[in-house]
Amino acid sequence: MSRTRQVLLAAGLVPLPWFLFWTIIGALFAPGYNSISQHASKLLQFSGVPNACVRIAAIGAGVAFIGFAAGLWLATGRLFALGAICWLVFGLSMVTNGIWPLGHPMHGFYSIGITNLIAPAMSHIESKTWPNYRRAYVITALISFAGIVYLWLNLVGADPDGFRGLTQRVFSSINSLWPFLVTLFLLRSSTTQFQGQPTR
């Protein structure tokens, strides 16, 4: 595996701890803010440290997702890798979360981040060695299913008012777990997990 590919794939380790760390710091400086009941984006309504922290959290995580997507794309050996593209688009939507305020149509880039629902499954399908492991299949299936559950909770209004911040952090952490685990697996493996000749 080339050094460039390793560095890009290593970005997959960043989003999970990065987002949680900065939103926790921001919450500490936001009077009246409740991490259990309020979404992280609510910190954008504050000024100073809370606002800066959530922007750093979103933009940093987004850039890391983009880097991971690029590394994953290179690792597939494909000219067109839908899974990697989905992670790339999701990363862009995260970046917009840190640039535009809550309520603005560009916050989340018109909800285009929904691509994260199929990103793990598509990346799994496009891989060469990763799907051969039963545990890998279970991980991908559970993470994909969790994304659908969270979307359903929001669509039907079943996400409880007093726990919306908690459910957001739990399900976003589950989603970020796929790049994290895949990155660990690929970097620790003696052989590249996503090998193959470019398809045209």
pLDDT tens column, 62-92: 999 999 999 999 888 888 999 999 999 999 9
pLDDT of residue 195: 45
pLDDT band at 114 (very low <50, low <70, confident <90, very high): confident
Q: Is 95 helix (H, G, I), strand (E, B) or coil?
A: helix
Q: What is the mean pLDDT of residues 147-159?
A: 90
Phi, psi (degrees; rounded to nearest 5) at 95: -60, -40
**CA atoms within a 13 Å half-sphere pointing along the CA-CB vector of 98:** 20
AA letter at 156: V
Average confidence score pLDDT of the chain: 86
| Mean pLDDT for the stretch of residues 20-44 | 93
* Gap between the Cα atoms of 28 and 33, Å rounded: 8
Residue 105 has pLDDT above 90, yes or no: no
Residue 1's pLDDT band, with cuts at 50, 70 and 90, is: low
Average pLDDT over residues 154-158: 88
Q: Where are the domains of the chain?
A: 3-188
Summarize the confidence of residues 102-121 as an average pLDDT: 83
Q: What is the rounded distance in angstroms from the CA atom of residue 40 to the CA atom of residue 8?
A: 27
Are 139 and 178 within 8 A, CB to CB? Answer: yes
pLDDT of 197 reads: 41
